[in-house]
Amino acid sequence: MTEPSYASIARDGLWSNNPGLVQLLGLCPLLATSNNLVNGLGLGLATMLALTASNVCVSLIRGIVRPEIRIPVFVLVIAAIVTVIELGMHAYLHELYAVLGIFIPLIVTNCNLIGRAEAFASKHSPGRALVDGLMMGGGFLLVLVVLGGLREVVGQGTLLAQAHMMFGEAARGWTVHLVDNYRGFLLAILPPGAFIGLGLIIALKNVVDARLQRRAQHVVVAQPVAAAS
């Protein structure tokens, strides 16, 4: 099997096949925890770490796991990694862990992790599995951060509120108040606001993709004309 290039893996994870905008995987935690930037960043980093570590582990053991039991083995690997991440967050980021709650252990059930383990990591080298995990996890992280930041700005008029939950007491003064005496927009931080915000981000991506496609078509059409002249 021909190994994909690192550039194509990065492009797929961050844009062309982004799990949050194209595959639409892991939407439950994405929508539920993205009411501010810090929550989205915390869950996104935990998911990216779990995805990267599970990809590498699956790639390393792919030659010794029988095809008949590969899915249960993959689930066990992912569950072990997520448990380590959960215990680490419980110990060192307890406030953030308490806010994210059940969505940390539920990373085990994220379809993106088992999907990448089956579709990519089990078929490619550890190096490419590592990059795929980083890029797919990074794409999911970017969606969480953008959506969380958008909802926090519209809903509360701030950015980086409660940053101390992730970065310690020194980050209590990091909160940026974008609008003085802002009364807030409750819809943005409620569940319907998550759907609306994600829909707007997906629509923006589709507009960008359509413009890039039209530009590429114009270039293809212009090349034969230039050659003929």
The whole-number pLDDT of residue 179 equals 86
216: in domain: yes
The whole-number pLDDT of residue 1 equals 60
Please write the tens of the pLDDT for every residue from 46-97.
999 999 999 999 999 999 999 999 999 999 999 999 999 999 999 999 999 9
In terms of pTM, does the model score above 0.85?
yes
Helices (H), 36-103: 37-61, 70-92, 94-100
Average pLDDT (148-170) is 94
**CB neighbour class for 79 (10 Å; exposed up to 12, middle 13-18, buried from 19):** middle
Residue 38 pLDDT more than 80? yes
1: in domain: no
Under a CB-based contact definition with an 8 Å cutoff, are residues 45 and 150 in contact? Answer: no
110: in domain: yes
Under a CB-based contact definition with an 8 Å cutoff, are residues 108 and 82 in contact? Answer: yes
**Dihedral angle over CA of 169, 34, 151, 25, nearest 10:** 150
Please write the tens of the pLDDT for every residue from 113-135.
999 999 999 999 999 999 999 99
d(CA 55, CA 48): 10
28: in domain: yes
Residue 2 pLDDT more than 90? no
The whole-number pLDDT of residue 3 equals 85
Q: How many domains does the chain have?
A: 1
The whole-number pLDDT of residue 167 equals 94
Q: List the domain range (segments joined by +) for residue 209.
A: 6-225
